[in-house]
Amino acid sequence: MLPEARQRAYQQWMTWISQAAVPAGTGDFEINHTYPDTVAIEVTVPRYAVRSGDYLYFQLPMPVTAPLPAATDTRIYPLMVAEPSDRIRHWTITLPENTTVQSAPEDIAWTGPADLGDITIETATTRDDGGPAVLEVTQTIRLSPAVIPAEDYPALLELNRRLSRPAQWRVLLNLKTATAD
């Protein structure tokens, strides 16, 4: 990839995360072409959250909200999922001081019918000794080609609905206020 095209791709990915994103780390992205391909990008976004009273909130950028081809409410014939999908989205957010996580993406562990595969979302908050709290959210999608019977279609539809709810990807932080002794 030419350096100009590489820089353009990096800037495009940064703006997908936030218009205010600035390069962090090396100021570049890393592509690993061994199976499965991975792309890693690191950015810093100052003042990414919106403040409302004693709360801060923000949406995680670019989650996969419709991993399955479930477009209509009902299905008469089986559904063929022809393409495999092996994706991992991982967000690491360093939280501001004096905040606690009030609401974060819901953990999901879903196993599809007919050997379709599985989708998981895992959320964890950690704190190193004396350091800031870190919120980590991982979305893992591992799907194989399969033919899904029509009677199992509602489960696919429900999963897409859960993943496409804005609240699923919203993080709400509570600002701790200092108490007077």
Q: Say whether both 98 and 164 belong to one domain.
A: yes
Q: What is the pTM of this model?
A: 0.82
Q: For residues 116 and 81, is the Cβ–Cβ distance under 8 A?
A: yes
Q: Are residues 148 and 66 in the same domain?
A: yes
Q: Are 87 and 165 contained in the same domain? A: yes
> What is the rounded distance in angstroms from the CA atom of residue 86 to the CA atom of residue 19?
28
87 and 116: one domain? Answer: yes
pLDDT in tens, 24-40: 877 667 777 666 667 77
Task: Let me know whether 23 and 78 are in one domain.
Answer: no
In a shared domain, residues 68 and 11: no
In a domain, 130, yes or no: yes
Q: Give the C-alpha separation, 78 to 39, whole Å.
A: 34
For residue range 164-178, what is the model confidence (pLDDT) as tens digits?
999 999 999 999 764
- Highest-scoring range by mean pLDDT, 30-34, 67-71, 128-132, 167-171: 167-171
Residues 42 and 60 in one domain: no
CATH number at residue 144: 2.60.120.1130
How many structural domains comprise the chain?
A: 2
Which residues form the domain of 22?
1-47
Residue 180 within any structural domain of the chain: no
Closest to 132 in 3D by CA, of 173, 93, 169, 171: 93
Q: Do 69 and 154 belong together in one domain?
A: yes
pLDDT band for position 112 (cuts 50, 70, 90): very high
Same domain for 83 and 43? no
Torsion angle defined by CA atoms of residues 96, 100, 103 and 109, in that order, rounded to the nearest 10 degrees: 90
* 134 and 170 inside one domain: yes
